[in-house]
Amino acid sequence: MNGEWVESETGALIEVENPANPDEIVASYQSSSAEDATAAVEAAAAAADDWAATPGPERGRILREAGTLLAERNEELTDCLIAEESKAYAEANGEVQRAIDIFHYFSGKAADPGGTVKGPSSPNQNLYTVEEPVGVVSLITPWNYPIAIPAWKLAPALAAGNTVVLKPASAAPGVAVEIARSLDKAGLPDGVINVVTGLGSTVGSGFIGHDAVDAVSFTGSSEVGQMVYEQATDAGKRVQTELGGKNPTVVTDSADPADAADIVANGGFGTIGQSCTACSRAIVHKDVYDEFVAELVDRAESIDIGPGSDHEMGPQVNADELDSTLDYIGIAEDEGATLAAGGGVPEGEEVESRYFVEPTVFTAVDTDMRIAQEGGFRSSHRGPQGE
């Protein structure tokens, strides 16, 4: 906060466990207080005018340098992401690279904030618009893309001249903290970015409710997002919510069933299925249905499951997420869907007593079944009301 690494007066810590080995604590972070959240917002507000007045090219230079610093630590950040979330190496490394690309992209956009010139209706007049920063922006991000989503929100906010308070998800805050470290090293002025780790009910709600916060960007569940939206709009703030989905892939009769199965498997089982944009439904034409199902089941059953560092598919992020997934598998069976693949916890020394679940395929799913309508995430996107 305000350019310094500050100890919270709470003295409490949030311990982050390795999802592939829950007995291993990989990191500890401060469980900050409402007072810490307030101090962060006040630091951002104090820095807002000077940062808004900083020329766009200078803002862009800092963003580019931060991206370069992240690039120099690509492997280190990948290891941190895998340790805290256990995403497969290729996915984790790709996400880190995406964050780097985002900072480099918006470094160029910072020099050209836009504005328009209009034709006036009267002589001897100039009519034009000027883009100005909103002010202090509060960002609340989830664990399923712990470096990409903070980068998606941070880079454009900073490029446009806003100051930021960020609360990363408690399950995997490490890479977001390292973004702040890189921005600080790149020369970002004190108070422009302030990262506060802690519970959403304390820190996130403190950010949203503070009078000095002008805008809120939240990624999380629909239930929590609705509360965020109402709290922010009631206070007259701008608000952006990116919530859960139930995303279908439509497979037509002209589709190649094998290609379609590849697409659905990648969309459904990639990132351990823990994505709000994951493909969770396939709507398949009857003429290719049987062949498509056979192809998809084959792909589900061939996925290599184990710790993300050296396997194709890692574990669920925590016990709550695993329980939620298994609960929905049970609900689907109780409602009459046909289990075609997976559906349980895998066996083997490397995966027992941990948070792994088999890639699962259901067929004969009616549109009124809960698995056809509900995302099923219990903890993947929890926001200000708790982690």
Q: Within a domain: residue 381?
A: no
What Å distances lie between residue 161 and 16, 156, 191, 272, CA to CA? 33, 9, 13, 36
Q: 335 falls in which pLDDT band (50, 70, 90)?
A: very high
Q: Give the pLDDT score at 381.
A: 34
Overall pTM > 0.85: yes
User: 200 and 216: one domain?
Assistant: yes
Q: Supply 257's token pair.
A: 């069933």
Q: Give the E-state strand segments of 213-303 in sequence order.
A: 215-219, 238-242, 247-251, 279-284
Measured distance CA(229)–CA(241) in Å, rounded:
7
Last residue of a domain, one of 227, 242, 257: 242
Q: Within a domain: residue 359?
A: yes
Q: Give the pLDDT score at 105.
A: 97
Measured distance CA(68)–CA(331) in Å, rounded:
47
Q: Look-up: residue for tokens 């893309």?
A: 145
Q: Report the number of distinct structural domains present in the chain.
A: 2
Averaged pLDDT for residues 248-255 = 97
Parallel/antiparallel/unpaired status of strands 338-341 and 361-363 = antiparallel
Last residue of a domain, one of 242, 274, 307: 242
Q: Give the pLDDT score at 387.
A: 41
pLDDT at 386 over 70: no
Q: Give the pLDDT score at 385.
A: 34
pLDDT tens digits along 207-224 = 999 999 999 999 988 888
Measured distance CA(195)–CA(176) in Å, rounded:
8
Q: Within a domain: residue 6?
A: no
The CATH number of the domain holding residue 328 is 3.40.309.10
Q: Indicate the average pLDDT of the chain.
A: 93
User: 288 and 275: one domain?
Assistant: yes
Q: Within a domain: residue 2?
A: no
Q: Give the pLDDT score at 221.
A: 84
pLDDT tens digits along 15-27 = 999 999 999 999 9
Decide if 276 is catalytic. Answer: yes
Last residue of a domain, one of 209, 242, 275: 242
List the domain range (segments joined by +) for residue 309. 247-372
User: 151 and 284: one domain?
Assistant: no
User: 211 and 315: one domain?
Assistant: no
Q: Give the pLDDT score at 256.
A: 98
pLDDT tens digits along 26-80 = 999 999 999 999 999 999 999 999 999 999 999 999 999 999 999 999 999 999 9
Q: Which of 40, 177, 276, 357 is labelled catalytic?
A: 276
Q: Supply 264's token pair.
A: 């659905």
Averaged pLDDT for residues 111-138 = 90
Averaged pLDDT for residues 342-354 = 87
User: 176 and 62: one domain?
Assistant: yes
Q: Within a domain: residue 122?
A: no
The CATH number of the domain holding residue 64 is 3.40.605.10
Q: Give the pLDDT score at 376.
A: 55
Q: 274 falls in which pLDDT band (50, 70, 90)?
A: confident
- Range in 95-99, 166-170, 238-242, 381-385 with the lowest mean pLDDT: 381-385
Q: 374 falls in which pLDDT band (50, 70, 90)?
A: confident
Averaged pLDDT for residues 113-124 = 88
pLDDT at 383 over 50: no
pLDDT tens digits along 197-206 = 999 999 999 9
Q: Within a domain: residue 385?
A: no
Measured distance CA(284)–CA(291) in Å, rounded:
10
Q: Give the pLDDT score at 379.
A: 37
User: 47 and 187: one domain?
Assistant: yes
pLDDT at 141 over 70: yes
Start-to-end Cα distance in the chain:
22
Q: Within a domain: residue 228?
A: yes
User: 143 and 178: one domain?
Assistant: yes
User: 158 and 232: one domain?
Assistant: yes
Q: Supply 230's token pair.
A: 């109402």
User: 167 and 314: one domain?
Assistant: no
User: 316 and 170: one domain?
Assistant: no
Q: Give the pLDDT score at 276.
A: 83
Q: Within a domain: residue 8?
A: no
User: 19 and 109: one domain?
Assistant: yes
User: 153 and 28: one domain?
Assistant: yes
What Å distances lie between residue 43 and 2, 221, 341, 368, CA to CA? 5, 29, 52, 49
